[in-house]
Structure 1
């Protein structure tokens, strides 16, 4: 990948410019959260978004622990008041370990994985072989949405059926694998056993 092949202009900002823009975006998000999202209105009631002007101020912001989110979702189903999306069209809701439910909004690259895939060298027209799960948890859709945002085709393989997976990979010849390293190791061992390159 050429050194001047950036995902977007955000990657070429100076550190000072990046920090200033990120702090402004954080203030904007805090204003929005306080005004629009019930759980954050409570959590941030003592926070003045305009006072967030440096990293020291960011370090003082309240933190929500995963256990607190699970408790909130149990008290205020389904999402604990942590989203303004309730009642709107959500393409998916996922469950994550620890009994946390996560909504997915209907926006391009909602999970923001395109930048990471681009950094790894993934480009428009590539075939991405996705072995992350597509059920219950968001991982499969997270990487698929990023790949689609880059203009890639995705083969939604999931996990398991190693022999069939090796045959599919041998036929499709994907440019990218996304999944866990442990499953890739299993696939490579099976490919060697089956003598498929």
Structure 2
């Protein structure tokens, strides 16, 4: 029997497209209202008119290098360069730094990164133990995987990277149902285990 993560996954393409385009004007209006950077970037955009992919393609784009520069200008007061509606405190449990550096907030919504559907598609199920070898150091990768695994109902062993021998001991003792991490680190684990 085929199962799915949720009903959104099985929608007809035209139903999904309609829902996305219906939500788009609200998302643009929300970004303009709640973030200084999008208010400036979209100052000449009528949010209610952005109801198709063609209209979406007309919006100005911020490149990663530009985002880095905008974030740098706002420091230390606003490390997000005006692109985040989240404020530090209870609604932002974590703040990450990705290469660039680019600073990224994490909110409190369940499965904030929306990785649950991907973890389900990868074969994880409620009650599984996942060995998460993405880095928990500064970057969001491990937390993206962990939130998705929790959304599916998994327990997560937060292994991170490095400490290969200890990880192999944990794998032998815990017998996880699956692995989340980079293929290159999995290869290191496999080669060390042999």
TM-score range, shorter chain: over 0.9
Partner of 1:136: 138
Distance in 2, matches of 1:39 and 1:147, equals 32
Q: How do residues 76-87 of structure 1 correspond to structure 2 at under 5 angstroms?
A: 76-77=74-75, 78-87=79-88
TM-score, normalised with respect to structure 2: 0.94
Structure 2 unaligned spans of 5+:
none
Deviation at 1:131, TM superposition (A): 0.2
2:108 is paired with a residue whose SS is coil
The residue aligned with 2:11 is 13
Matches of 2:59 and 2:106, distance apart in 1: 25
TM-score (norm 1): 0.92
Shift of residue 79 of structure 1? 1.4
| Secondary structure of 1:184's aligned partner | helix
Give the equivalent residue in structure 2 for 1:115. 117
Aligned equivalent of 1:101? 103
Q: How far, CA to CA, are the matches of 2:71 and 2:53 in structure 1?
A: 30
1:38 to 36, 39, 46: 36
SS of the residue corresponding to residue 86 of structure 2 reads coil
Structure 1 residues 1-197: aligned runs within 5 Å: 2-3=1-2, 5-77=3-75, 78-89=79-90, 90-192=92-194
Counterpart Cα distance in 2 of 1:24 and 1:96: 32
CA change 1:100–1:87 in 2 (3 A) is: same
Instruction: Note the aligned Cα RMSD (angstroms).
Output: 1.1
Q: Structure 1, unaligned stretches of length 5 or more?
A: 193-197
Output the CA distance in 2 between the equivalents of 1:82 and 1:54. Answer: 23
Q: When the two structures are aligned, how many residues end up with a matched partner?
A: 190
2:23 counterpart SS class: helix
Give distance in 2, aligned partners of 1:163 and 1:87. Answer: 37
Alpha-carbon displacement from aligned partner over 1:122-161 (angstroms, at most 9, x marks no partner):
1110000000000110111111111112211000001111
Bigger mean CA deviation after superposition, 171-180 or 79-88: 79-88
